[in-house]
Structure 1
Amino acid sequence: MAAKLGDHGSVEKGYALAILILICLYLAGFGLSWGPLGWVVTSEIFPLEIRSAAQSITVAVNLFMTFFIAQIFLAILCHFKSGIFFFFAAWVVLMSLFIYFLLPETKNIPIEKMDKIWREHFFWKRVIGESAYEATEDKRIEAA
């Protein structure tokens, strides 16, 4: 697209159709992969006690970012031109790295055990600490 279009130019109808199809495939791929992930991750990964709060935060952040991106998209498009696809691709790479390294695996783990998984995770255990239930349980065992 950058080679054919340049800063100010036009492309043949066949090439424009190919660009349109590629953009539609890009959006369909996002809609089938990363688009719904914000909803799925919060419903599967957070313990029952905080799931509703996590889902609320997800909805608020999602709607705000949708509004924000809609407001600045044309300005970014004018500055980055075809580089906007690389800009969003870089964000997908960053999101993938975050998911891979910083979110625990939930396969075959009941939702009731997720608080334990979070407390044992190499990164999040420093943020979460031990639960109040475990602290009380430990004190009761020591007292006995």
Structure 2
Amino acid sequence: MNLKKYTDYSLRVLILTGMKSEQELATIKEISTVFHISQEHLRKVVHNLTKLELIESIRGRNGGIRLAKPAEEINVGQLVRILENDFVLLECFNKETNHCIISPACTLKHVLNKALMAFFQVLDEYTLKDLINNEQELRKLMGI
């Protein structure tokens, strides 16, 4: 399974933003510089995270973004479920497009479905706060 770049970028935006104090704001330019992601991509990501009420955008000369809720309230598993829309690992996961002749007797789909559920079970155990517990190390790597 491969998560979309959009999900990756969203998580990075939240990680950097989550490391800011309540008075500090992150900016798209700063995030772009730190992660080497185009500002245009980030604008779309920030817009969506704002719509999801995970971050809030402050306009103006000294504007930027900040978390809209505490980092410990942002669950990684829930976020990935929202941002990803395709968890069809095999053809047989989609009854409408499944043409596999062994599907009725195949146990592979059950094994992979169990693995997918385990994947989300692990992600559900973590919040954004957990992802930024090593803040000092992250700051060094980001150069902030």
TM-score (normalised: structure 1) = 0.32
Bigger proportion of residues as strand: 2
| Higher Rg of the two aligned structures | 1
Bigger proportion of residues as helix: 1
> Relative contact order (C-alpha < 8 Å, sep 6+): which is higher?
2
